[in-house]
Structure 1
Amino acid sequence: MNGSRKYISISVPDAPDSMSPHIKSAEQLRVIGFNLGDCSRSMQFAICVTGVFVFYLVYGYLQELIFSLEGFKPFGWYLTLVQFAFYSTFGLVELQFTQDKRRRIPWKTYMMIAFLTVATMGLSNTSLGYLNYPTQVIFKCCKLIPVMIGGVFIQGKRYNFIDVSAALCMSFGLIWFTLADSKVAPNFNFAGIALISMALCADAAIGNVQEKAMKLHNGSNSEMVLYSYSIGFLYILMGLVCTHGLGPAFVFCSRHLLETYGYAFVFSLTGYFGISFVLALIKLFGALIAVTVTTGRKAMTIGLSFLFFSKPFTLHYIWSGLLVLIGIFLNIYSKNKDIIRLPSLTDIRNKIRKRQMRPTSERV
């Protein structure tokens, strides 16, 4: 989902006016046929935000709608196979409109990226057979946790107090949300928690691998999508054939063509378009703005899920969700202290004193 997700992790300056020279070309500012280079800054922002919200909200709605079809829940991996087939086709079509069609990134790297992509999206899709959609989205918001754990044990990193506080807020929010879900959801299963947790770990690793490959070999977005998803398609196909899961899924979907293949096409198309606008938002306005917009989109997705699909609700969902949002804010603040300057206690005290010293007429 999030399809977000997230195909390619790109490191760019956070300041809006400090774009790299290669980003300023009209060709690289083109998103699904629209040339954003000819628009004003405010119009660029409005178009990108609208694209992120519209396409990803439709993406999330269709993903939950597909799994609401009675009898479909065991076929999450087959949905991922179909999704990868569509993404590979979209990447091939997009590559035809680029001037340089050469493959720059080695096959060995693509095989690793494809494996991580399969794990991320396949496990995420399959987890919906066991979890409520809001619970899945909440878990996907907490990618920081496996990133920090991997950083400590693999790279020996040290994190400051704010980073640790962010991870703790997310952890307690996840625990609270999961406990609430287990009490009110009749079909709750801890297998879903295990699946989405493994998907998170793979998602935390894939961004670093993709970013390193893109920088080292100067590969294009369309090349990355085409080769990683086409190889991933072969991985899933072999897995389904070996586990004898291809036949039953194909028979079931052939009986519900519109509810499976039809919805899956729109589901894949909106996910593909959505990530294009996320990448454009990162390139034009920086990672801070992009994370803020995508976090708001995820919060709205959860609200719409409760609105459109009947499911039990408890106020514990709200408090645990807010705790996760606090953790996300702390993480954003930790990485952008030079941009986000929170008022200190001294600043607040000085403002109160100045206000008290002003005449009563001015204060009113």
Structure 2
Amino acid sequence: MFQATLLLVCYNRLSTVLVSASFVVFFGESLKPVGPLRNYAAVSFANIAATACQFEALKYVSFLVQTLVKTGKLFPVMIWGTIMLKKKYKFRDYAAAVAILLGVTIFLLTGEVTARSQRIVPTLRYGYASTGALLLILHLGFDGFASTFQDKLFHSHQMSSFQQSLHVTLWSSLLSFLGLLLKGELLPAVSFVLRHPDILVDMTLLSIAVFNVLRTQCT
């Protein structure tokens, strides 16, 4: 079984770097960073953490649960927006966020939530579900921070979505690669890919999808 979550992150971030750099050159934009490097690094760290938690959660909870929980992103985005951008939301906005949160909670308390691979050990289902839920909560928190901080960058500096995507994913590629080294997962992950080269097709398709999501967040 493939287990190297950070390799997926590193591969799709490197792919995004190549595509973003190509568009930046094509549109005649500057390859140099417009904003402070620490700001790109902050977005990058949050982005990597969010993606890693999202992928890792699939080992414990079903894809349906993950998709449903992600609809609750509104709540952390509102919290980060209040803290970083000093935004003020109307009562109906808070009501909508709470309603979504309650709906997700009801589903999680009444339906099957564990990943199919974990259902073979019934006594551990609640432990798996709890781990998956924690990872999804962390995903929402980091993802909300990344989206809000990207919005702040656009307000503070004049940059295109491709420029921001390029420099954020450059940092992401470096950080995820360092994570693979520190966790000792790089060589086993590369060895797995060499033994099962068909996985590159899936990783590439995933990278294309992730690139579209990242650019949408940067727009």
Decide whether the 8 Å contact of 1:139 with 1:196 is kept in 2: yes
RMSD between superposed Cα atoms in Å: 2.8
Decide whether the 8 Å contact of 1:77 with 1:126 is kept in 2: no
Residue identity opposite 2:165 in structure 1: V
Q: Secondary structure at the match of 1:197?
A: helix
Using structure 2 for the length normalisation, give the TM-score: 0.82
Q: Could you list the runs of 5+ residues in structure 1 that have no partner in the other structure?
A: 1-70, 283-364
**Shift in CA distance, 98/109, structure 1 to aligned 2, threshold 3 Å:** same
Structure with bigger helix share is: 2
**Structure 1 position 98, deviation (Å):** 1.7
**Matches of 1:191 and 1:93 in 2, distance apart?**
39
Question: Which position in structure 1 is the counterpart of 2:20?
Answer: 91
Task: Specify the structure having the higher radius of gyration (Cα).
Answer: 1
| Aligned residues with identical type, % of pairs | 22
**Shift in CA distance, 268/143, structure 1 to aligned 2, threshold 3 Å:** same
Question: Which position in structure 1 is the counterpart of 2:106?
Answer: 176
Decide whether the 8 Å contact of 1:127 with 1:195 is kept in 2: yes
Match of 2:157 among 197, 217, 236: 217
Q: Could you list the runs of 5+ residues in structure 2 that have no partner in the other structure?
A: none
**Structure 1 position 267, deviation (Å):** 1.9
Higher relative contact order (CA 8 A, sep 6+): 2
**Matches of 2:214 and 2:114 in 1, distance apart?**
35
**Shift in CA distance, 159/228, structure 1 to aligned 2, threshold 3 Å:** closer
Decide whether the 8 Å contact of 1:75 with 1:126 is kept in 2: no
**Matches of 1:181 and 1:218 in 2, distance apart?**
47
Question: Which position in structure 2 is the counterpart of 1:147?
Answer: 77
Question: 1:182-331 residue pairs with structure 2 within 5 A?
Answer: 182=113, 186=119, 188=125, 189=128, 190-258=130-198, 260-273=199-212
**Structure 1 position 197, deviation (Å):** 1.0
2:6 is equivalent to residue 77 of structure 1 = yes
Decide whether the 8 Å contact of 2:53 with 2:135 is kept in 1: yes
Decide whether the 8 Å contact of 2:81 with 2:148 is kept in 1: no
**Shift in CA distance, 157/181, structure 1 to aligned 2, threshold 3 Å:** farther
**Shift in CA distance, 212/76, structure 1 to aligned 2, threshold 3 Å:** same
